[in-house]
Every structure is written in C-alpha cells, then in structure tokens.
Structure 1
Amino acid sequence: MHTYVVLAYKQSEYLEECIKSVLNQKYQSKVIIATSTPNEFISKIAKKYSLEIFINPDPGKGIGYDFDFAVSCGETPLVTVAHQDDIYDFDYSYNIVEKYNANPSSLIIFSDYYELRDEKKVYKNLNLTIKRILLLPMKIDGLSKIKFGKRLILRFGNAICCPAVTFVKKNIHTEDIFKCDFVCDVDWYAWEKLSKLKGKFTFVNKCLMGHRVHEGSTTTEIINERVRTKEDIIMFQKFWPKNIALLLNKFYIKAEDSNN
C-alpha cells in the first residue's frame, strides 16, 4: 500500500539514520532509494539493508525534477519521498494508511512535524507555531476538500512540510508535480499546483516525523544566500497582488530567520 522513496544525495551522514527509521515502522512499508548522484557511499548502505537503488537517468535539471523522479519510482498507491536527513516516527506510515482508508479521495496526506536541532527534538518555535496556525483550516473537513480551503493554507506561506507528505498517486494523474526552475520553493509550488485539482488535502494532526535543521542542509544554505526571497515573492503573487505579496514577504523572512 505504501512506499518510502529515500531521496539520497551525495554523502549525507544522516542517510543511514533515515533508512533505519523507515524500516522500523509499525506498518511495514516498502523502502527503496532514489538518487541523481550514485556513488559508493549510497551503494554500501543500500547493500547493507538490501534496498533497491533507482538512478535518475536524466540528472542535473534541478531539485524539482529529482523529486518528481523519486515519486515516479514508487509503485504503490501511497508514496512518501523521505529526505535523507530526516527521520520518521514508528507510527508515521500506520497513521498515513489509516487516514487514506478513511479519505480515499485525498491528493496528499501529511502530518505535523518537529525539528531536529543538534540531535534534540524541537516541538515549539516561531516557525512551527506559524505553520500550525496556517494549517488550522485543515482541521475542518469541508475546507480541506475545496479549492478555497486548500489554497487558504498556502496564501500566507508554505505551511506544509515536504518530507511529511505522502502522495496518493492515482488521484494526482500526473508525474509533473514539482517540475519547475525553483531551487527552494519547489514544494510550495507543488502544493499550489495540486490545490487546483479535485481532491482533498488530508492532515494528520500529530507530530510523526522529524525534519533536521543543520548548517549543511540545502534549506539552510539557500536561506543564508537569500536565494529564497525571490521565489517567495513569485509564490505570494499566485495568491495576492504584487504590493501585498511584497509586504507579506517581509514577515515571511522573519520566520525564515528561525532556521539559522
């Protein structure tokens, strides 16, 4: 029913910990590895845990294309792209499958999350608080099914944590979910695109996975370079006039600063 596609890039010191977490699940999901940077490091870990590796035949186009490739590798109805630096709690997939069975029209099913900072689990900070406020409409069943409700949680920022998301492939009807030229907001771009489709955004109001924040992460690198600001403004303009988008972005930058 469910597959974890572990998206591996170069040589992450956290890759094995991620793999251990998705193998140690209450609901026994299928686990595979997808990569655009095949190397001996990834091969050794795959061999250690008897995992199949899927190599992107067309690498180098960008993060969004790598994500779409990872989703395409999963052959089960439900697919989670597990980021190599993150971990998944024992009952993540169990809760996802349970929610799917109750909501088969879902486009995506996603959970709340905590942050991993210096090996400590952080459940509360400014960034997490803002995202939980933005996600309040998803607790109302009627709003999570309609376009207005799905877009409401995206109008003030990207409230959905990408590695916490599971895709219901049969309801999406496309393999071009993330495809774009962005380097950071590929996930926000994807949710905005999916919000226009018929189907539900199903939220599991539990912290079921840990998103690691560290100096070597791609998100931290991009935020430090302020590459993200330009993309954020583009995304805000999908929901607001330009002047309002620029104003909202000023507040959004403050939330990003908690990633430092």
Structure 2
Amino acid sequence: MNKLLFTAQDHTFTICAYGQSEYLEECIKSVTSQSVQTNVIMCTSTPSEYLELLAKKYDIPYFVNEEKKFNSDIATDWNFAISCAKTRLVTIAHQDDLYKRDFAKEVIAHFNGTKRPLIAYTDYAELRNGREVSDIRNLNIKRIMLFPLRPRFMWPSKFMRRRMLSLGSAICCPSVTYVPENLPEQLFIPGYKGGIDWQAWERFSRLKGEFVFVNSIQMVHRIHDDSETTALINGNTRTQEDFEMFCKFWPKWIARIIEHFYRKSEDSNNL
C-alpha cells in the first residue's frame, strides 16, 4: 500500500458550538490563526444570533442541524459536525478549548507517511482558573499509558492500542483528528454521555489501520465548573459508563477494581 500525503486543504476544524459559551471566541481565534491555514466551519443544534454573528465575524461557514435542534445529544451533534466537513481529515474543536498554533501543522505532518490512518491524537495541557498546567497527576498517568504508542511502528498494533484502552481513556477527545473514509459511517453511537469518546476509540481499535500519536502538547483543554466533564464526574453517570467500558476488556470483578482506582484518578478534573 502506498504511503499517503496530506496537505492543509485536506483538513477541517469543525467547531461544535451550543448555547452561549463565553470561551467560544477564544476557541475560534485559536483555530483561525494556525501556522498552517486549514478549513474552519461551525456546527450547532442550538442556533442563535450569538453563534451566527460570531461565524460571520470570522467568515466561518455556519451549519445548523435542523432535524435534531430540539432533540439532540452529544453523539448526534458530533456525527453532524463530522458530516458537514468535506475533507479527508476532521478535528472536532470543542468550543471551550484552545488549539496551539502548530496543531494542524503537526497533525498533518504525522499523518503523512501513514498507510491507513484512523485517527490522530496529541498530548495536551489543561487550563485551570486561567492558568495552563501540564505537570499534574492525571495527565502524567495518561502519558504513561500512551508511552508504548509513541514509536511509529506501534501505530498499527491492535494489541497495543487495546491494552492501552483497557486501563482507561488516555486519549483526549478534543485533540483527536478523524479520517472518516477509514472509519464507520456512524462514528459515535447515541446512549453514552461521558464515555462516548472512549466507546468510539474501543470500536476503532478493532479496525485495521493506524492510531497516530503526536507526542507534543498541541491543545489545551479547559476545566471549569460548567463543563460537561465536570458535571458527569460529580454525578454517577460517568462511574457506570466507565464500568461498562472496562467490561469490554476484562471480567466484571477485575473491571470493578480497575474502575475504582480510575475514578480516583479522575477526581483531579474537579477544580
């Protein structure tokens, strides 16, 4: 199989917007001021004048999911966001997060030379109370989990990626770039909330192809009290979903033990 070559025109940031996030404009600025200019669009199931005006201000194509705007969920929103992009590579940009200036450049460079890429994902930092942090327990644990997938020759290994996923979801969802032509038509399956991304990685891990790891911090995930991640962790939804995911890799009694320690590590997502 020939090795692939991608250019900036093969990539799209699709901003998945909803409500009236005070951080959305920062996200837009981060993806429209990349060192390599790629495509940027905005998608929503909750259309508003606020979103439309921001899209016009930055000359971003604006797409509204008319079918689901009154009955939507995360999976539906993300699937719609992917479908609106017409390029071979798509990053779902989460509206509260920030992308480093070289994010697109590094992701495209790492895709080049692959044979059948499925996804690419990067290392990341967190933004807490206005301060970027990267040397914290939760992130360091995830880096240890991802360590075996640093070498390029490990990217096609189903065994290695499934072993990594069997211990938790170390892949940061907003850092992921998808290659839709090599993935199932429905990337995300409705039903999960906090574990929707981990569920997708588990499905993708069974496919022939490469999990491309960009081993440098290329985006910043914002942690704040109103974030979906924080809300799910404070409730019981995340605990049950995590247990169900561990059961895809382990017997139930082992899954329960791993889930207990995994939940403790996730506590650092609270401010």
Please, which of 66, 79, 84 is the counterpart of residue 68 of structure 1? 79
Please, which of 251, 254, 260 is the counterpart of residue 264 of structure 2? 254
Q: TM-score, structure 1 length as denominator?
A: 0.97
Cα distance, 1:102 vs structure 2: 2.0
Please, which of 31, 36, 40 is the counterpart of residue 22 of structure 1? 31
Cα distance, 1:13 vs structure 2: 0.3
C-alpha separation in 2, matches of 1:150 and 1:180 = 23
Please, which of 213, 217, 222 is the counterpart of residue 212 of structure 1? 222
For 2:265, what is the secondary structure of its paired residue? helix
Aligned alpha-carbon RMSD (Å): 1.0
For 2:121, what is the secondary structure of its paired residue? strand
Please, which of 101, 107, 119 is the counterpart of residue 118 of structure 2? 107
Q: TM-score, structure 2 length as denominator?
A: 0.93
Q: Which moved more, 1:144-153 or 1:233-242?
A: 144-153
Equivalent residue letter for 1:40: E
For each residue in 1:72-97, what CA deviation from the matched residue of structure 2 results, as whole angstroms up to 9, or x when unmatched? Answer: 11111110000000000000000011
For each residue in 1:115-155, what CA deviation from the matched residue of structure 2 results, as whole angstroms up to 9, or x when unmatched? Answer: 01111110111110111011012113333202111212101
Which residue does 1:36 correspond to in 2? 45
Please, which of 240, 244, 249 is the counterpart of residue 234 of structure 1? 244
Return 5+ residue gaps in structure 2 as ranges.
Answer: 1-9
Q: Which moved more, 1:139-148 or 1:81-90?
A: 139-148
For 1:145, what is the secondary structure of its paired residue? coil
What is the correspondence of 1:178-193 to structure 2 with a 5 Å cutoff?
A: 178-193=188-203
> Is contact 2:45-2:72 (8 Å) kept?
no
> Are 2:169 and 1:158 aligned?
yes
Which residue does 1:5 correspond to in 2? 14
For 2:216, what is the secondary structure of its paired residue? strand
Cα distance, 1:15 vs structure 2: 0.3
> Is contact 1:137-1:144 (8 Å) kept?
no
Equivalent residue letter for 2:57: K
Which residue does 1:45 correspond to in 2? 54
C-alpha separation in 2, matches of 1:61 and 1:216 = 19
> Is contact 1:72-1:175 (8 Å) kept?
no
C-alpha separation in 2, matches of 1:58 and 1:219 = 26
Which residue does 2:63 correspond to in 1? 54
C-alpha separation in 2, matches of 1:248 and 1:184 = 17
Cα distance, 1:225 vs structure 2: 1.2
For 2:139, what is the secondary structure of its paired residue? helix
* Number of aligned positions between the proteins: 259
For 1:212, what is the secondary structure of its paired residue? strand
Cα distance, 1:57 vs structure 2: 2.9
C-alpha separation in 2, matches of 1:234 and 1:16 = 36
